[in-house]
Amino acid sequence: MITVAVDCMGGDHGPSVTLPACEAFLRQHPDAHLLLVGRPDALSVGPLATHERCRVVAASEVVAMDDPVEVALRRKKDSSMRVAIEQVKSGAAQAAVSAGNTGALMAIARYVLKTLDGIDRPAIATRMPNARGGATTVLDLGANVDCTAEHLLQFAVLGSALVAATGDRSDPTVGLLNVGEEVIKGSEVIKRAGALLRDAAARGDLNFHGNVEGDDIFKGTTDIVVCDGFVGNVALKASEGLAAMIGGFLKQEFSSSIGRKIAAIVAYPVLSSFKRRVDHRRYNGAALLGLQGLVFKSHGSADAFAFEQALSRAYDAAARGMLPDVRERIARARPLLSASDAAAAPPIS
């Protein structure tokens, strides 16, 4: 039985979204168990209160969406977010899910669980729909705004481990996001990262495709796209806005003139299918990679359907043994990572 610890208080909506999502998740996963973390008075109500595969774990504090990281980490030591992650640390749960403050979640998870050997910074990775009918895994999505070339190499190793563990490809392709495909393009950090990735590919440690551009994410040119957190977060928000734009367009057309209504009705099946295909809610649930435990981040404004998807992602990762696979791949790549760290270190005078 897979046990997932749920920060039921986090996000924009708290229990009004997380509890219905938990109910739906349990119906779809008969071998799953949930630890509902939060204030008992808010969680000991409704069908989950007596559910045989649920247990409430008390936490007296809540990390607000606008709490500074220091407050969440140092002052709110009994927050639902921290207690949920501590369930993974203790072994009571195989994964934790929260829709709370991203910066706080990353800081607390890194403090409680620590990073894997060879990894300096955890990264946030999620899947974005592509034209091939599948999804492209993109990282980092906001945890690390400023990255070195060595960090981007680590992200490539982490992303490869994630896709190999949870996807159908044992040797997924990696693309480095750049302003062009040519090796000579990009900042000095990107050029050096490209050199490190090419070296890794030459040694057989990574399946590096080369530089890719923004549209390659949605074309599905590579299985994985690596970038810094600033660029990745912008790409994520743009993709989320696409589905909202299509939904707004359909609503507007159905409320317009008769001729446009008829045109909208004819186009509706295709546009509706496309809207569902790019609906960011279906891809909700980003993995915090590089930690000694499984933690998944839900969008803060997620509805019950979207939060259920995040729970399912965490469950699948635990059920498929993602963490041991990630550990194994990083262990194999440790000489590569150590070599890149040594090359980046300043000379000793």
- Mean pLDDT per 10-residue run, the chain (349 residues)? 96 96 96 97 90 96 95 96 98 97 94 90 89 89 88 92 80 94 91 93 90 93 94 81 61 61 59 54 88 95 95 92 82 71 49
Question: What global pTM score does this model have?
Answer: 0.84
pLDDT value at residue 265: 61
pLDDT value at residue 79: 98
pLDDT value at residue 347: 43
The two beta strands, 173-177 and 224-226, are parallel
109: Cα separation from own chain's centroid: 14
CATH number assigned to the domain covering 1-113: 3.40.718.10
- CATH 3.40.718.10 in the chain is located at 1-113, 117-284+324-349
- To the question of domain 117-284+324-349 being in CATH 3.40.50.300, the answer is no
pLDDT value at residue 20: 97
Q: Contact, 10 vs 80, CB < 8 A?
A: yes
332: number of Cβ within 10 Å: 12
For the CA atoms of the chain, what is the radius of gyration? Answer: 21
| DSSP state string for 120-131 | SS-EEEEEEE-T
The span from the CA of 160 to the CA of 206, in Å, is 8
β-bridge partners, 135: 129
DSSP SS3 for 84: helix
pLDDT value at residue 165: 78
The span from the CA of 65 to the CA of 101, in Å, is 5
